Amino acid sequence: MTIRIFIDGAVGTTGLEIRDRLAGRRDIVLVTLPDHLRKDAAARADALNAADGVILCLPDDAARDAVAMVRNPTVRIVDASTAHRTMDGWEYGFAELEPDRAGRLAAATRISNPGCYPTGFLALVRPLVRAGILPADRTVAVAATSGYSGGGKDMIAAFEDPAAPAATDTGYRLYALGLGHKHVREMQVHGGLARPPIFLPAVARSYRGMLVEVPLAIDDLAPGTTAAHVQDALAQAYAGAALVSVATDLPSVLDIERTAGTDRLELFVYADPAAGQLRLIGALDNLGKGAAGAAVQNMNLACGLPETEGLRL
């Protein structure tokens, strides 16, 4: 038995990455539309409803429109946009985030793919909130740096095409300086936090890769908490996970491209006991576990296929 998968938006950065992971698999048949029909509503509707699984790699409004086109109740949808990440009726597609999440994804027909920044943030914060180590009413800060591919075609052109209007020679830049970012609500809701986190995003001159940092003061954690408790909580949360690991040997330097080209997420706990400070760090590929890899993992689960099939370990 083979599963028919249609990628709506397969020509974008994330769509191409997903297609590469699915190409050549014997358990999947990729449904494609010729170029002249890619924006034809009737042809798209036919493809959406004839597939067993659909992965949406579209802007938010277009993703909502695509979902409205699906009339076949058996079609499983994984939406890579931000449109449904905090919406009732959609399962949040971070399989490792909660103990029962993989099972819920296996039964779901509507799955919202997590954002790349929230993936790193939630992986570090959610287990600590769930364990009572990090009080849910704390205001948490998160600083994160992404490869420029996360900004889509315009940002890629700004870093790579000297003729582009927004071309830049800089190697690093901050953005969302007004502290408003579309991922903040997602981080708060799925982190179980009472307050929105303070989000400090940046982009580096690296095509892909991501580092997400959450600084914590021991005094802000539950009384008696040590760095070892934090390490143990994360290790227990991801014990047995194929794609998420918690380091025991800490490198002295972390490169943004550490996990580039893979679908892994690596977590690190650094501590200064004398100062009572912790620096939690997640390393992932913004196009891998932060986008395409997660989408394929979610579709595998929803379609009853091996969870890591086609992924880059």
- 116 is an active site residue: yes
Could you list the residue range(s) of the whole structural domain that residue 224 is in?
Answer: 116-286
In a domain? residue 313: no
Do 137 and 259 belong to one domain?
A: yes
Name which of 266, 267, 264, 260 is nearest 243 in CA terms.
Answer: 264
Do 107 and 130 belong to one domain?
A: no
Do 197 and 282 belong to one domain?
A: yes
In a domain? residue 310: no
Do 276 and 297 belong to one domain?
A: no
Using CA of residue 127, residue 133, residue 139, residue 145, what is the dihedral sign? Answer: negative
* Structure confidence by residue, pLDDT tens digits, 146-155: 999 988 777 8
Do 48 and 33 belong to one domain?
A: yes
In a domain? residue 312: no
Q: How many domains does the chain have?
A: 2
In a domain? residue 307: no
* Structure confidence by residue, pLDDT tens digits, 220-244: 999 999 999 999 999 999 999 999 9
Question: Distance between CA atoms of 147 and 40, rounded to whole angstroms?
Answer: 33
CB within 8 Å of 181: residues ≥ 6 apart: 199, 201
- The one-digit pLDDT tens for each residue of the chain (313 residues) are 799 999 999 999 999 999 999 998 999 999 999 989 988 999 999 999 999 999 999 999 999 999 999 999 999 999 999 999 999 999 999 999 999 999 999 999 999 999 999 999 999 999 999 999 999 999 999 999 999 998 877 788 778 777 766 666 678 888 899 988 999 999 999 999 999 999 999 999 999 999 999 999 999 999 999 999 999 999 999 999 999 999 999 999 999 999 999 999 999 999 999 999 999 999 999 999 999 999 999 999 999 999 999 999 9
Do 13 and 121 belong to one domain?
A: no
CB atoms within 10 A of CB 71: 9
Locus of tokens 């576990």 = 289
Q: Which residues of 249-260 are buried (b: 16+ CB within 10 A; e: fewer)?
A: eeeeebebbbbb
Supply the CATH number for residue 147's domain: 3.30.360.10
Do 279 and 138 belong to one domain?
A: yes
In a domain? residue 311: no
Report in angstroms the alpha-carbon separations of 303 from 2, 158, 165, 212.
10, 38, 43, 31
* Structure confidence by residue, pLDDT tens digits, 92-106: 999 999 999 999 999
Do 168 and 258 belong to one domain?
A: yes
Question: Distance between CA atoms of 116 and 217, rounded to whole angstroms?
Answer: 25
Active-site position among 3, 63, 116, 230: 116
Question: Distance between CA atoms of 2 and 185, rounded to whole angstroms?
Answer: 37
Do 280 and 145 belong to one domain?
A: yes
In a domain? residue 14: yes
DSSP characters for the chain? --EEEEEETTTSHHHHHHHHHHTT-TTEEEE---GGGTT-HHHHHHHHHH-SEEEE-S-HHHHHHHHHH---TT-EEEE-SSTTTT-TT-EE--TTSSTTHHHHHHT-SEEEPPPHHHHHHHHHHHHHHHTTSS-TTS--EEEEEEEGGGGHHHHHHHHH-TTSTT----SEEE--TTS--TTHHHHHHHHT-SS--EEEEEEES-SS-EEEEEEEEGGGSSTT--HHHHHHHHHHHTTT-SSEEE-SSPPS---TTTTTTS--EEEEEEEETTTTEEEEEEEE-TTIIIIIHHHHHHHHHHTTS-TTTT---
The tokens describing 140, both together, are: 């948490």
Do 189 and 92 belong to one domain?
A: no
Question: Distance between CA atoms of 156 and 5, rounded to whole angstroms?
Answer: 28
Do 16 and 134 belong to one domain?
A: no
Do 157 and 127 belong to one domain?
A: yes
Supply the CATH number for residue 83's domain: 3.40.50.720
In a domain? residue 69: yes
